[in-house]
A and B are shown apart, each in its own frame.
Chain A
Amino acid sequence: MSSESILSLRVNGQPFRRLVPAERSLLDFLREDLGLTGSKHGCDVGDCGACTVLVEGQPRLACITLAVEMEGASITTIEGIGGPEGPHPVQKHFDQQVASQCGYCTPGIVLVLVALLRDDPQPSESRIREVLGSNICRCTGYTKILAAARAAVGAA
């Protein structure tokens, strides 16, 4: 029983070891301690999906995950998926379909789609919509996000 722990984990393939307080969220750990600001604070209570990261390849909401629970885990953030120099196919299709407006929800949406297409390379329209139910976008009305997701099917 303790108020802080030494946390060892891998983020985007790189090992890290840090002292974290019990009440540190994974999101704050990534953003404040590691400087990885691609994962966003949105609602901060697990509704909106802006903070989504992959833990052992599975989407997880970093704002309602304690950093200490991630001992030994392997985490992928949007920074580990791809950047301007080498975008992931899902990111490329977001760009081509102009599926981002303010862009705040984009990292989370790209991550859930990357995980979906890895497990199910040919998802049905209803499956894509179901999975995108995990993430809220307040700009686009989802039409272009769905177009990017459909275009990415088979390309990811």
Chain B
Amino acid sequence: MLPFPKFDYAAPTTLREAVSLLCTPGARILAGGTDLLPSLKHRLFEPSLLVSIRRLTELREWEMLPDGGLALGAGLTLQQLSGLPALALYPGLQEACRTVATPTLQGTATIGGNILLESRCLYYNQPVGWRDAIGGCLKCDGSVCHVAPKGKGCYAAHSADTVPTLWLLGAQVELVGPLGVRLVPISALYSGDGLRPMLLQPGEILTRLLLPPPGPPTVHRKLRTRAAIDYGLLLVAASRSQSGYRAVVSAVGPAPIEVRGESPEDLAEAAFRAVQPLGTHAPAPTWRKKVLRVEVRRAAESLKEG
């Protein structure tokens, strides 16, 4: 049995109160908890306070925007989101929601939590004893990155299933913090530093996800060992417009990577050249690099057929 560390708990009823509680040093937000709570059991971090979004009912609302886009509360579960009739107009996003973990976890995990999923690594997401045996790593309790010992930082992989397709859709997030409200494009949310992968200010809460009106469809592909539970070994989203093909690739570094091409083959070559998978996952990086080319080409080809 793996116990939780000790922490305080608060379930504020207003966003204002939640923001103020989140400014407490060591505070963390608790949404679905499907990634946060296992991480606490593994002692990846030990927050002094968990601020629950349970009573912030506005985070579970959604509405159609005047321009035909959607505003989605960050506290909607992935299951609630993929079940919205309006989401059929965003097929890549719907598919991405349905490939996260398992149906039970999709009923608990939130879209906000997925967008802000902590970066992951073979050497980081492990029990305490496992990590102790290798002296920890740069991201937790250690000073060496086992993926790139001679590198300059932490390369833990961005692993949020919904993000590559949200990036292609041009989605934005609404962040509410002590200094007010700001809108940030998904494509500007990630720092590229595995130690602190999200460009959030202290106390900020992701309140809404804003989707533009439905445009060219996106497709989502997830490579993984098993068809359930596992995080992606590669995440690929692709779309096609008059100006050509675009793909966003993730699970290959601390931030997703966007590439463009004129044909599926061209796009696949662009991704192959731009992306260097590392040892953040169990399979060999050289294998993942080869498969990346195939995954990107297949994603783009499926758009061609449609």
Contact = CB atoms under 8 A, between A and B. Distances in A.
Contacts of B2: 44-45
Interface residues of B, number: 33
Interface string B87-122: 000000000000000111101100000000000000
A131 interface: yes
B130 interface: no
B33 A66 contact: yes
A135 B105 CA distance: 11
A2 B104 contact: no
B225 to A, nearest CB: 13
B222 interface: no
B50 A134 contact: no
Contacts of B21: 1
B104 A64 contact: no
A4 B1 CA distance: 21
B50 to A, nearest CB: 7
B4 A58 contact: no
B38 A64 contact: yes
B99 to A, nearest CB: 10
Contact of A1 (B4, B9, B105): B9
B229 A2 contact: no
Contact of A44 (B1, B34, B228): B1
A131 B9 contact: no
Contact of A66 (B37, B38, B102, B228): B37
Given A3-B8, A23-B5, A64-B38, A46 B107 contact: no
A41 B1 contact: yes
Given A2-B10, A41-B1, A46-B37, A59 B107 contact: yes
A46 B132 CA distance: 22
A129 B5 CA distance: 35
Contact of B103 (A22, A71, A131): A131
Interface residues of A, number: 34
B45 interface: no
Interface in B215-232: 227-229
A41 B3 CA distance: 11
B8 A2 contact: yes
B104 A112 contact: yes
B264 to A, nearest CB: 28
A124 to B, nearest CB: 14
Contacts of A2: 8-10
B196 interface: no
Contacts of B9: 1-3, 5, 22, 66, 68
Interface in A11-26: 21-25
A60 interface: yes
A47 interface: yes
Contacts of A68: 9, 11
Contacts of A69: 11, 30, 33, 52, 54
Contact of B7 (A22, A52, A59, A71): A22
A49 interface: yes
A133 interface: yes
A25 B40 CA distance: 12
Interface of A: 1-3, 5, 21-25, 28, 41, 44-47, 49, 52, 58-61, 64-66, 68-69, 71, 112, 130-131, 133-136
